[in-house]
Amino acid sequence: MRLLLDTHIALWSLFDDPRLTRAARDLILDPANEVCVSAVTLWEIAIKHGLGRIGPNAMPISAAEAQALFVASGYVLLPITPDQAVLVGTLPPLHADPFDRLLIAQGMTEGLRLVTHDAVMASYDERIIRV
């Protein structure tokens, strides 16, 4: 199965964060699965890390550090295509976050199973895995 990790799942997996569920961990560690991270995730990390927020939702590392760790973890890094950007405009307005909407569109166009902890994101498509 080809998985696309939502930003928080991708970060939690890097640091073995206790918020990463057993189900998510099992999917990521299954050698039969290809684990992908989007350029959208790096973009989100870059923007939010640059804001310098603190607290549980802060971005703990820069986009450059995240990219290096994703590559070292064996994750496949995916670019964004114009078709994916266009598809965002056709999605129902269930979720306002532009990063999440683009991840949903990318999962749909690439036949990826998006892995998220976000119930609203999971409501977009039955192929989205909520963990």
For the domain that residue 47 is a member of, what is the CATH number?
Answer: 3.40.50.1010
112: left (phi over 0), alpha (psi -120 to 50) or beta: beta
Range of the domain at 17: 2-130
Helix axes 98-110, 39-50, angle to 10 degrees: 170
- 87 pLDDT tier (thresholds 50, 70, 90): very high
SS3 119: helix
Which pTM value belongs to this model?
A: 0.94
Nearest CA to 131 out of 11, 21, 45 is that of 21
pLDDT at 59: 85
* Domains: count for the chain: 1
- Write the pLDDT tens digit of every residue in 39-86: 999 999 999 999 888 777 778 899 999 999 999 999 999 999 999 999
Q: Are residues 92 and 121 in contact, defined by beta-carbon separation less than 8 angstroms? A: no
Q: Give the bridge partners for 129, in sequence order.
A: 115
pLDDT at 54: 79
pLDDT at 88: 96
